[in-house]
Amino acid sequence: MTGAPCQVTRDEALIFERSRPGRTAYSLPPLDVPTVPLETWIESRFLRADQLAGLPEVSEVDVIRHFTRLSRWNYAVDLGMYPLGSCTMKYNPKVNERVARLEGFAQHHPLTPEELSQGSLEVLKMLEELLCEITGMAAGCLQPAAGAHGELTGLLLIRACLEARGDARQKVLIPDSAHGTNPASAAICGYRVQTIPSTERGLIDLEALRRAADSEVAALMLTNPNTLGLFEEAIEEIVRIVHEAGGLVYMDGANMNALVGIARPGDMGVDVIHLNIHKTFSTPHGGGGPGAGPVLVTSELEPFLPVPRIVRRPDGTLALDYDRPRSIGRVRAFYGNFGVLVRGLSYILTMGPEGLREVAETAVLNANYLAHQLKDTYEIAYPGPVMHEVVFSDKRQRAYGVRNVDIAKRLIDYGFHPPTMSFPLIVPGALMVEPTETEGREELDLFIAAMKAIDRECRENPELVRTAPHQTRLGRLDEVSAARRPVLRWRPEESNAPSGSLSEKRVASPEP
């Protein structure tokens, strides 16, 4: 080939840049009625002055090729391993998609009267009861749209409960290994956050917790297993300390994939927990959702749950109960992300109790297999048997001038999605890997081989790793400029001025 642009490798133009005046993806039959100006029927104040100028004018094949190309550049769990730690990017069984698309669910309008919604209400009721059984809690609310929303709902419940006790409090305790959403949720809920350090072993420091657990403590927010993939063995003592101080224990259930079917937070004394249906219970996530973050509580907190509650009437039918005077109110329009909840129920029912237990066992086994196979190659900051995920660091590779970000980018060249980076914050240069139960031995071995190959490259040709990825359509992006001077919107007037434009910052890379 000489000089001609290659269709497959070219930098895909935006749909706006493909626009050609007058081009359309439709053809209408000739007009057989008189033309009437829009203004005669619609008041001018309701009409847009710009006549929708600037929208792309493209043909059907332009649209199809553009979006099909983009979709093929995507990476998904249906293509390969997606080891993002703390995200539980497990495979989503297609039967769940099929169930969610059943007409009776997919077409059901949320304003349909109760008597015509019994099937959908039964789905929600059954899911709430199963989640209670799985977590050992008394009652729950399926409304929260995702995990952080579940955290906020859970903290609002704790606030309502403490105020009802006549003992409103000021602060929330959060370990330094926590997800960043925990302090954010506490702050939005009006609490002051106090950080509890971790011990040398990566577990919550009980002495520090005892010192912090005073009469101002509303709650401890605890992720268990924590973000280092370690089970907080002292959970019963932790709960006792917080309860004796008069506070409540909130469990972030993001890492429930390690426990499901084996241990129940309710039995450990937890007062509130949120689950991520889109993690533990297999519904799709990434790319912005939608998710579902149900909140489960003890019987003491049950009166404060959001409305409506789904209740069973004496005749066995289900109803939406809004008459809950102590409720914190609604937290979401309608009843949550219903389609996601249907998928979650389908997953739980098709897996069954033994299947769910096997999920946790396999997820933990897979993480330990990776930890064992890679421990001589990559530093593990907090060694010890891990649960569902393992946190490596770039400590040994730093000697060759290679950082975690470089290793993560190089993994793309080997066909893997990068792991979670630089988190938890207490591990400098963290690479947090969660294989989930999805991956079989062969896939795990490929990942191990790739990680070992990258380590060799760090020693023999660090520049190769520092400049990765090399096998992608776009090379290393300038993330610093993107964060310092984000270009969030394409504007036609700027597209003709390449200086400082997005495309100038892209680094071209040869097709393999």
Taking the complex as a whole, how short is the minimal distance between the CB of residue 286 and another protein, in angstroms? 20
- Does residue 379 touch another protein according to CB under 8 A? yes
Candidates 84-92, 242-250, 451-459, 479-487; binding stretch for another protein (CB under 8 A): 479-487
State how far the Cα of 348 lies from the Cα of 199, in Å rounded to an integer. Answer: 36
State how far the Cα of 388 lies from the Cα of 365, in Å rounded to an integer. Answer: 8
Which of 484, 488, 499, 508 is the binder for another protein (CB under 8 A)? 484
Handedness of CA 97, 101, 104, 108 (dihedral sign): positive
Binding to another protein (CB under 8 A): which residues in 170-189?
180
Taking the complex as a whole, how short is the minimal distance between the CB of residue 376 and another protein, in angstroms? 17
- Does residue 377 touch another protein according to CB under 8 A? no
- x/- track of binding to another protein for residues 126-165 (CB under 8 A): ----------------------------------------
State how far the Cα of 245 lies from the Cα of 42, in Å rounded to an integer. Answer: 64
Buried b (16+ CB within 10 A) or exposed e, 127-142: bbebbbebbbbebbbb
Cβ distance to another protein smaller for residue 31 or 488:
488
Candidates 71-79, 241-249, 337-345, 477-485; binding stretch for another protein (CB under 8 A): 477-485
- x/- track of binding to another protein for residues 427-446 (CB under 8 A): xx------------------
Taking the complex as a whole, how short is the minimal distance between the CB of residue 476 and another protein, in angstroms? 13
Taking the complex as a whole, how short is the minimal distance between the CB of residue 371 and another protein, in angstroms? 15
Residue 436: closest CA among 385, 379, 383, 369: 369
Cβ distance to another protein smaller for residue 141 or 374:
374
Candidates 5-13, 129-137, 320-328, 377-385; binding stretch for another protein (CB under 8 A): 377-385
Taking the complex as a whole, how short is the minimal distance between the CB of residue 97 and another protein, in angstroms? 36
Tokens of 118: 């019994």
> Starting from the edge strand earliest in sequence, which strands make up the sheet with 295-297, in order?
139-141, 295-297, 272-275, 248-253, 217-223, 171-175, 192-196
Cβ distance to another protein smaller for residue 252 or 379:
379
Cβ distance to another protein smaller for residue 355 or 401:
401
Binding footprint of another protein, residue count (CB under 8 A): 17
Taking the complex as a whole, how short is the minimal distance between the CB of residue 364 and another protein, in angstroms? 22
Binding to another protein (CB under 8 A): which residues in 410-429?
421-423, 425-428
- Does residue 483 touch another protein according to CB under 8 A? yes
Cβ distance to another protein smaller for residue 45 or 484:
484
Contact 116, 109 (CB under 8 A): no
Bond from prior residue into 308 cis (ω within 30 degrees of 0): yes
Taking the complex as a whole, how short is the minimal distance between the CB of residue 422 and another protein, in angstroms? 4
State how far the Cα of 287 lies from the Cα of 259, in Å rounded to an integer. Answer: 26
Cβ distance to another protein smaller for residue 192 or 491:
192
- Does residue 381 touch another protein according to CB under 8 A? yes
Taking the complex as a whole, how short is the minimal distance between the CB of residue 180 and another protein, in angstroms? 7
Question: Which residues does 145 contact at the CB level (< 8 Å), separation at least 6?
Answer: 289, 290, 291, 292, 293, 332, 336, 337
- x/- track of binding to another protein for residues 388-407 (CB under 8 A): -----x-x------------
Cβ distance to another protein smaller for residue 176 or 445:
176
State how far the Cα of 99 lies from the Cα of 342, in Å rounded to an integer. Answer: 7
10 backbone dihedrals φ, ψ, rounded to 5°: -70, 155
Question: Which residues does 341 contact at the CB level (< 8 Å), separation at least 6?
Answer: 123, 124, 127, 142, 277, 292, 294
- Does residue 479 touch another protein according to CB under 8 A? yes
Candidates 51-59, 111-119, 288-296, 476-484; binding stretch for another protein (CB under 8 A): 476-484
Which of 61, 480, 497, 508 is the binder for another protein (CB under 8 A)? 480
Secondary structure element (H or E) that encloses residue 195, with its range = strand 192-196
Measure Cα distances from 279 to 134, 274, 282, 334, 408 in Å. 15, 12, 6, 22, 22
Indicate the residue type of 496: N
State how far the Cα of 383 lies from the Cα of 372, in Å rounded to an integer. Answer: 10
Report helix, strand or coil for 310.
strand
User: Which positions touch another protein (CB under 8 A)?
Assistant: 180, 379, 381-382, 393, 395, 421-423, 425-428, 479-480, 483-484
